[in-house]
């Protein structure tokens, strides 16, 4: 086994890109999951990054899914429970990450690959991408969040159609049903993702973090509790230096200069 990490990290100013490079299909082996978790550790320990982009190496596949050999080896109940725990823990971490995470889906996103994209906060895909929750074709079902995040994104009926048939959809259909937020020509995918990331990174960091928390936390709360959570986050921001700068810039008819924190 090569000592080279399957996750390539690149810092582009305020944006960090994580590229999954695990030939031939960028499978999410336990080694790849661990490397992705370690990369998130490094980002969390740094004050510089404002947005994270996750993509795949090559032009054909974002992530082909979990490592099939490892799945087959984990058919014992205890092994299956451990593999499920690892995947769910990592994807929960991404969904709850303090920075916005964008999936730049450069090709096929199948099984665990789609579940990884679902755990990200935003999704941009190439016009040649195909996305599918394909586990049913192996006689199993999604186990890393697909049965929960997919219906929250596209509705239960569309989610069940994808999960129960295992049939992938193309980029146009994925955009139509709200599975992805933007579609770009393959050659322009990373440019499109970086433009979106830079636009987000230029906003107030405390406001971005709080808005992210309000939305992601609120999805798991009753509405009345979520509204109280939103109110507390809003009130705290109103007293912040960035809010003072934002209002002052509005009155002075100039772009705001938010603190880089």
Residues carrying an active site annotation:
115, 135
State the first-to-last Cα distance of the chain, in angstroms, to the nearest integer.
Answer: 40
Burial class (CB in 10 A: 0-12, 13-18, 19+), 64: buried
């Amino acid at each position: 086994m090569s000592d080279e990490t399957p996750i390539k990290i690149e810092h582009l100013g305020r944006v960090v890109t994580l590229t999954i490079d695990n030939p031939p299909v960028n499978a999410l082996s336990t080694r790849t999951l661990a490397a992705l978790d370690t990369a998130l550790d490094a980002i969390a320990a740094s004050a510089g990054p404002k947005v994270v982009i996750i993509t795949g190496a090559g032009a054909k596949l974002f992530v082909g899914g979990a490592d099939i050999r490892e799945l087959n080896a984990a058919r014992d109940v205890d092994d299956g429970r451990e593999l499920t725990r690892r995947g769910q823990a990592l994807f929960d971490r991404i969904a709850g990450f303090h920075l916005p995470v964008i999936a730049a889906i450069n090709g096929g996103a199948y099984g665990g690959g789609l579940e990884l994209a679902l755990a990200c906060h935003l999704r941009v895909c190439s016009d040649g991408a195909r996305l599918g929750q394909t586990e049913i074709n192996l006689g199993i079902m999604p186990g890393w969040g697909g049965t929960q995040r997919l219906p929250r994104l596209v509705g239960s009926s569309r989610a069940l159609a994808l999960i129960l048939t295992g049939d992938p959809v193309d980029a146009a259909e994925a955009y139509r049903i709200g599975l992805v937020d933007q579609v770009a020509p393959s050659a322009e995918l990373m440019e499109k993702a970086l433009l979106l990331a830079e636009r987000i990174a230029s906003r107030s960091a405390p406001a971005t973090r709080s808005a992210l928390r309000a939305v992601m936390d609120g999805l798991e709360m009753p509405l009345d509790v979520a509204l109280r959570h939103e109110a507390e986050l809003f009130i705290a921001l109103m007293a912040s230096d960035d809010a003072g700068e934002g209002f002052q810039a509005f009155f002075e008819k100039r772009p705001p200069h938010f603190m880089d924190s």
